[in-house]
Amino acid sequence: MAGLAVNVDHVATLREARKAAYPDPVAAAAIVEMAGADGVVVHLREDRRHIKDRDLKILKETVKSKLILEMAPTPEMIGTALEIKPDLVTFVPEKRTEVTTEGGMNLSLNQESIADAIETLKCAHIPVSIFIDPDPEQIRMAHKISAALVEIHTGGFCDAETPQQQKRAFLNIVNAAKLAKKLGLGVNAGHGLCYHTIKAFTGIHDIDEYSIGHSIISRAVMVGLDRAVRDMAALVRAL
């Protein structure tokens, strides 16, 4: 049965819209865990646009399930991960001008430095996942540099404009997940998934966990965070 990791970044985004002390992503993390999430995800960006160092430190002390830290593989962030020791680090590409992460990492461009970062974290007993597009070559490179897991970027499927594009993108995800499993990698998936698109993954058993944030936080505005998480958790567990 697949798990659900809930990203609470957008709670912090709302807080930062007014530079207020609320809503608190730490409090949100407690609610999503009580509602059945299998993990809590936060992305500590280099510009600290939403999640802050304070949030991460408190979450490390309070999260009871699993704390997943998304971050760029930079020296500063590696140092932060070594200090905090999250349950899982996910390397993601990061651009200052983007609103949200726009695609997976291109391992062919910086394979050696990422391999070094993975080894550093592995020595501290911190497993590393890499957020990548559903590309067989990228999957093979992730395995080559000793990543423990991959998180497959599902945005191409969720944002497809035609049924043909959606079908092709979905097939790419399925094939990437199968290849990753064959190579012995853990497989997560995320980006753009919502209460409708998640249903397409029924019967796809090569994906261990889905990372979902925006659609859950958006629904929470209307129905409350507890119900929003419970509704998504029920869909994920029925896959």
Residues marked active site are found at 43, 70, 191
In contact, 239 and 201? CB cutoff 8 Å: yes
Neighbouring C-beta atoms of residue 161, cutoff 10 Å: 7
Neighbours of 72 (CB within 10 A): 19
Report whether the peptide linkage leading into residue 23 is cis, meaning its omega lies within 30 degrees of zero: yes
| Percentages of the chain per state (helix, strand, coil), in multiples of 5 | 50, 15, 35
Q: Could you tell me if 149 and 129 are in contact, meaning their C-beta atoms sit under 8 angstroms apart?
A: yes
Q: What is the spatial distance between Cα 235 and Cα 18, in angstroms, rounded to a whole number?
A: 33
Q: Are 144 and 132 in contact (CB under 8 A)?
A: no
